Amino acid sequence: MKSNEVKQLFQKEGLRFTSQRNLVFDIMSKHPRPLTADEIYFLYLEQDESISLSTIYRILELFLEKEIITKTLLTDNNKACYVLRHGHKHLLVCLNCKKITEVKECPVHYFEDDIQNATQFKITGHKLELYGLCPECQ
């Protein structure tokens, strides 16, 4: 994603565009696999030394809040892993190599009406993540 597109995305989410937020976003788009905050921190330091791990966490919290990224079910040494979200898509995660494949279809929408009718719940969203072994790792 070009930096003016990132700017637009931030604007849409009501986020101020800063070089730190931009670089975190850039790192995550160039490494499309689940990354821990530590990994993002070290990748960041390779390009720019002016950041602390707590700032990385703050940016990740903000991105989570705005649903720019998502926490995956996968963890690394019990640490949360994060990936970028691209609109309404679901992820297939390889538990071995951590490769991520996006699933184009969303089967959950079909259930939502039934569940709403059965429970009188007003459903406003859902999370779905699939995991297993990719063809190379089987």
- The least CB distance from residue 59 to Zn ion, in Å, is 26
Please select the residue that binds Zn ion; options are 22, 108, 112, 129, rule is CB under 5 A.
108
137 binds Zn ion (CB under 5 A): yes
Give the helix, strand, coil percentages of the chain, each rounded to 5: 45, 20, 35
Report the Cα–Cα distance between both ends of the chain, in Å, rounded. Answer: 32
Q: Scanning residues 72 to 101, which ones bind Zn ion (CB under 5 A)?
A: 94, 96-97, 99
Q: Tell me how far, at minimum, the Cβ of 107 lies from Zn ion, in Å.
A: 7
Q: Are 115 and 121 in contact (CB under 8 A)?
A: yes
Query: Which of residues 23 and 134 has its CB atom nearest to Zn ion in the complex?
Result: 134
CB under 5 A: which stretch of 12-20, 33-41, 67-75, 106-114 binds Zn ion?
106-114
25 φ, ψ (degrees, to nearest 5): -60, -45
Least distance in angstroms from the C-beta of 94 to Zn ion: 3
1 versus 108: smaller Cβ distance to Zn ion: 108
Q: Give Cα separations from 111 to 108, 123, 125, 126, 133 (angstroms).
A: 5, 10, 12, 11, 26
Separation between Cα atoms, residue 11 and residue 22, nearest integer Å = 12
Of 65, 67, 75, 106, the one binding Zn ion by CB under 5 A:
106
**CA 63 – CA 108 distance, rounded (Å):** 24
Kindly state the smallest distance separating residue 36's Cβ from Zn ion, in Å. Answer: 18
Q: Which parts of this chain interact with Zn ion (CB under 5 A)? A: 94, 96-97, 99, 106, 108, 134, 137
